[in-house]
Amino acid sequence: MRLLKLVPDDTNIDFLRWRKVASAMSIILVVISIALVAVRGLNLGIDFVGGQSVRVEFTQDMPPIDEIREKVGDIGLGEATIQQFGSDKAVSIRTALPDGGKATAERAGQQLVAGLNKAFPTAKTGSVETVSGKVSEELLRTGAISLALAMLGISIYIWVRFEWQFGVGALGRLFHEVALTFGFFAVTQIQFDLNSVAALLTIVGYSLNDTIVVYDRIRENLKKYRKMDIIPLLNLSINETLSRTVMTSVAMLLALGMLLIFGPDVIFGFTAAILLGVFVGTYSSILMSTPILVWLKVGPHSFVPRTTAGIEGGERVERKDDGAVV
């Protein structure tokens, strides 16, 4: 049986030739993302701003959004945010809490649901959520803390397991990925809520996974080929791990794509964000996390144990001369 090979054998692509272009592009994208978040803002869900949110499902054809907006406006709860779910006949309707209440979500929801039932007698309310301002502030804080700590904790681990340059590289890459994901939420205006934070953390985890695989190979090759220049060595490491990078990404994109198409619309935004994260992550593994090492001047000396440096000379061999029969 002939097996499928996603990447041909023995690729030898000079990826690092594009490192300046790629880095410039990454920086531009990060800047654009930050600008988008600043200018356009995120569509923050009630988890983070407080308020009430009701999911309404229409049994027959869904009335136009403008009509829904008008009728919700008549309930008298102020400006409503109305968002359509996937392809379903369902919308999420979001408003502030009735009395602008910071402390209470006591009677919230009821008024909105009652009003909706009156305006659209055939529609069903699928879920009701109310979050008071106080709780949403806490959720925002804990969400931000867990994201920051996850990034920091992981970078420290890499620093301990590898060298400081790798830790910095990982942190830089994480920042890149997280910034782009925020940009994605700003562009699409997909609701940013607690699930989105979970998505961000997933992207962070996945990114790291990728970084580690490539860094592990770089470390291995740095020990093996002491005399090789850093750029060819990084190119070699990327090429050697290329088929794994592609295969894993394809598998992930496949799984997430299925979840996106067939999964419940409630996690649509969540899945879409991770999907983007995997896509960006694949690019980053190749063209983002490795060039950082060039600038941070990683070299064979990074892994030479200081006392035994001279003794291990036997390992100074050229590539493909490591005892294997070619």
Partner 1 sequence: MLDFPRWKTIGISIILLLGILFSIPSFLPEKTVNNLPSFLQAKVNLGLDLAGGSHLLLEADIADLRKTQLANMEKTVRTAMRGESGPDDDIAIGELSTAGGKISFLVRDLAKLDAARERLFSETRGTQQQMGQRDWNITVIDSTRIVMTPTGAGQAEAVKNAMDTARDIIDKRVNALGTREPTIIREGDDRVVVQVPGLQDPAALKELIGKTARLEFRMVDTNADPNEAAAGRVPVGSEIVPYAVGEGNGAAFEVLRRQVMISGEQLINAQQSYDPQSNQPVVSIRFDSGGSATFAKVTAQNVGKRFAMVLDGKVLSAPSINEPILGGSAQISGSFSVASANALAISLRSGALPVKMTVVEERTVTPELGADSIRKGAIAGIIATVSVLVLMLVVYGRFGVYACVALIFNVFLIIAVMAAFNATLTLPGIAGFVLTIGAAVDANVLINERIREELKRGRRPFQAVELGYTEASRAIFDANVTNVIAASLMFWFGSGPIKGFAVVLTIGIVTSVFTAVTVTRMFVAHWLRTKRPTAINI
Q: Please give the residues from 220 up to 259 whose contact with partner 1 meets the rule CB under 8 A.
A: 220, 240-241, 243-244, 247-248, 250-252, 254-256, 258-259
By CB under 8 A, is residue 154 in contact with partner 1? Answer: yes
Our CB check for partner 1 shows the closer of 23 and 202 to be: 202
Q: Which of residues 36-75 bind partner 1 (CB under 8 A)?
A: 55, 57
Among 23, 119, 216, 283, binds partner 1 (CB under 8 A): 216
CB of 20 to partner 1, least distance (A): 28
By CB under 8 A, is residue 4 in contact with partner 1? Answer: yes
Contact 290, 196 (CB under 8 A): no
Our CB check for partner 1 shows the closer of 17 and 124 to be: 124
Q: Which of residues 260-299 bind partner 1 (CB under 8 A)?
A: 261-264, 266-267, 270-271, 274
Our CB check for partner 1 shows the closer of 7 and 35 to be: 7
Angle at 297 between CA 173 and CA 208, to 5 degrees: 25
By CB under 8 A, is residue 317 in contact with partner 1? Answer: no
Q: Which of residues 174-213 bind partner 1 (CB under 8 A)?
A: 194-195, 197-198, 201-202, 204-206, 208-209, 212-213
Q: Which stretch binds partner 1 (CB under 8 A): 75-83, 105-113, 291-299, 305-313?
A: 105-113
Measured CA to CA, the distance from residue 208 to residue 175 in angstroms comes to 11
Q: Which of residues 116-145 bind partner 1 (CB under 8 A)?
A: 124-132, 134-135, 139, 142-143, 145
* 312 C-beta neighbours (distance < 10 Å), count: 12
Our CB check for partner 1 shows the closer of 15 and 47 to be: 47
CB of 135 to partner 1, least distance (A): 5
Q: Which residues contact 234 (CB under 8 A, 6 or more apart)?
A: 15, 16, 218, 290, 293, 294
Contact 192, 43 (CB under 8 A): yes
* 284 C-beta neighbours (distance < 10 Å), count: 24
By CB under 8 A, is residue 100 in contact with partner 1? Answer: no
> DSSP string of 175-234?
HHHHHHHHHHHHHH---BSHHHHHHHHHHHHHHHHHHHHHHHHHHHHHHH-TTS-HHHHH
Measured CA to CA, the distance from residue 35 to residue 294 in angstroms comes to 28
By C-alpha distance, which of 79, 78, 94, 87 is closest to 58?
87
Count the residues of the shown chain that bind partner 1, applying the rule CB under 8 A: 84
By CB under 8 A, is residue 91 in contact with partner 1? Answer: no
Number of helices and strands in the chain (H, E)? 10, 4
Our CB check for partner 1 shows the closer of 6 and 35 to be: 6
Q: Which residues pair with 256 in a beta bridge?
A: none
CB of 302 to partner 1, least distance (A): 17
The beta strands (E) that lie in the chain are given as 51-57, 81-84, 90-95, 124-131
Q: Which stretch binds partner 1 (CB under 8 A): 14-22, 60-68, 156-164, 180-188?
A: 156-164
Angle at 136 between CA 132 and CA 137, to 5 degrees: 120
Token code pair at residue 205 = 């985890």
CB of 259 to partner 1, least distance (A): 5
Our CB check for partner 1 shows the closer of 31 and 152 to be: 152
CB of 201 to partner 1, least distance (A): 6
By CB under 8 A, is residue 161 in contact with partner 1? Answer: yes
**Phi, psi angle pair for 145, to nearest 5°:** -65, -45
Our CB check for partner 1 shows the closer of 22 and 185 to be: 185
